[in-house]
Chains A and B, each alone.
Chain A
Amino acid sequence: MNRTVIIALIFIITLPACEKVFMNDAASTDPFVNFDFLWETLDQKYSFFGYKEIDWNEMRTNYRSRIHTGMTEQALFNVLSQMLYELRDGHVNLTTPFDRSRNWDWFLDYPPNFNKNVIDRYYLGKSRRFTGPLANRVIDSIAYIYYDSFAREIKPGHIDFLIQDFAALKGMIIDVRSNGGGSSANSRLLASRFADKSRLVSLRLVKKGPAHDDFYDPLEEYLNPGGPMQFTGPVVVLMNRLSYSATNDFILRMSALPHVTLIGDQSGGGGGIPVDYELPNGWQFRFSTTITLRPDGFNVEHGIPPDFIVELDPRDEIYGIDTIIEFALDFIREGVGGERSQITQ
């Protein structure tokens, strides 16, 4: 066989061994390596440093001094989670095999304004329906719907059935209190069934570079009518501090509609879309890379204020009364604001 051919063949077959030269694994359990990686990733991609007026360099100085070679995984986790806590963001978490960091002050610092036991026993009761994930019941010719999590999928048929079934009612109450979020797709789908026309509902800014203020131009997001019919009668959305993330997004969309009224406590916020990533030691973390604004420029990261602030009265709870639901029922009965029950086809 020609020697040149043999040499060429050897070269071609052994070429793949160069792969390890090209690709260097960043896997490491070194505490400094993992701290630096976490800090740098957030420095480049986290979206709320400006809005929350956080001096991230100062955080690095404060917390890196607590890192030392040979520290235990638990100790490293404590330092990293304390640093992440400073971001005051429910969408920032560090997940390890033994714990998950979090900042829950956005709802733990406030009264719950929600009692599931009262709702189950005295409002939904035994005659409730489950239309997909939407527990519902008619109360005094007013539809009451409770949606506990946007992580539970709504199919178009679910909401379309309810829209048609409730067409002639005085109004609708959509209770998303203590709905911690989930899929924005479910949020968009549900809100679309209440849209009377295409409306601008939010502006979204997405990080496009490492500077803290490096964002793409604001992306306009519209709420368009969806499905074969929409409900444009009086609608009340009930909310509390645990109405977070995709629920906050749903409330934002609904707040743009003239026939919708927000009642309860301020929502929990969570206007940034979280993305997931990994540390060199295999721990997983997530953080916000976007900012969501109302069309008037209001930043919804810390929540959306209701039209009417109503809190749950503990004295009412004793008697099985949900103060917020009762306020909403009276609101619809008295016909304050919004159009009367109509179906737009």
Chain B
Amino acid sequence: MIDALLQATVNGLIAGTILAVPAIGFSAIFAVLNYPNFAIGALAAVGAYAGWLANARFGWPLEASLVAAFAGAAAAGLAAERLAMRPLEPAGALMMAIASLAAGLVLENLIRLAFGNDPRGYALPLARDLVVGGLRVGPQQLRNLGIALAIMAAVWAFLRWTRTGRAMRAVADNRDLARLRGIDPERVAMTTVAVGAGLAGFGGLLVGVDTAAEPVMGQRLVLSIFAAAVLGGLGSIPGAVAGALAIGIVEEWSVLLLNPAYRTAIAFAVILAVLTVRPAGLFGTRAD
């Protein structure tokens, strides 16, 4: 039992680290543009397919395919933002959220139109699991973990040290003050959408490597992303990371007790519990 629990914790930490990548994207878009982008799941699927095309069709190595996943999802995210969500900004966050749901539907079905419903596997060598002290870990899992950690480090450095990253934080913190300081909110918004959607694309690739790329993968992923972001506090980037780790672990633990199909139901239960007890989440400030 202890072994099973430890194994589930290790799996959960790895899954949570991967989940943190799209959750950061969702939270960043919420922080700067101030609406929940429900297309985030479909954008992850776009990234998974862009990465799959690069890796399995064109034979790129996995690290190079990451660039394709980021670029594909960022382009799709920008197109959706420009055509569907941005024009509705005067109508309010809820209208933008509804438009993003419609945009997600369109993206998911564009994938289905082009590639069909069958799962697409990446072209990666199979490798035997490593066994360390009774715990099993796949070498590919470790590689994914390394990629996810590197992405997070890059995001952190980008937000901390680059002009654009600091402008993003300024707008998220206080839009009007940022404008007074001469930051162009439109440019910051578009950069955030590109980076946020690109992070979702990274997440899609990592999930696709672990299982396969499928049109419905976004729908499966989206509740866990929301749960991570809400648990951490909507709009908080460190919160999204902490929330994703917690969701990853709790989802894996739940499999020990419940039907694995209920994994996403756990995410929903966490959302309800957090909103009831501490709506601002672990690190958030605004919920009203």
State yes or no: do A and B come from one complex.
Answer: no
Q: Which B residues have a C-beta under 8 Å from some C-beta of A?
A: none
Q: Which residues of A contact B (CB under 8 A)?
A: none
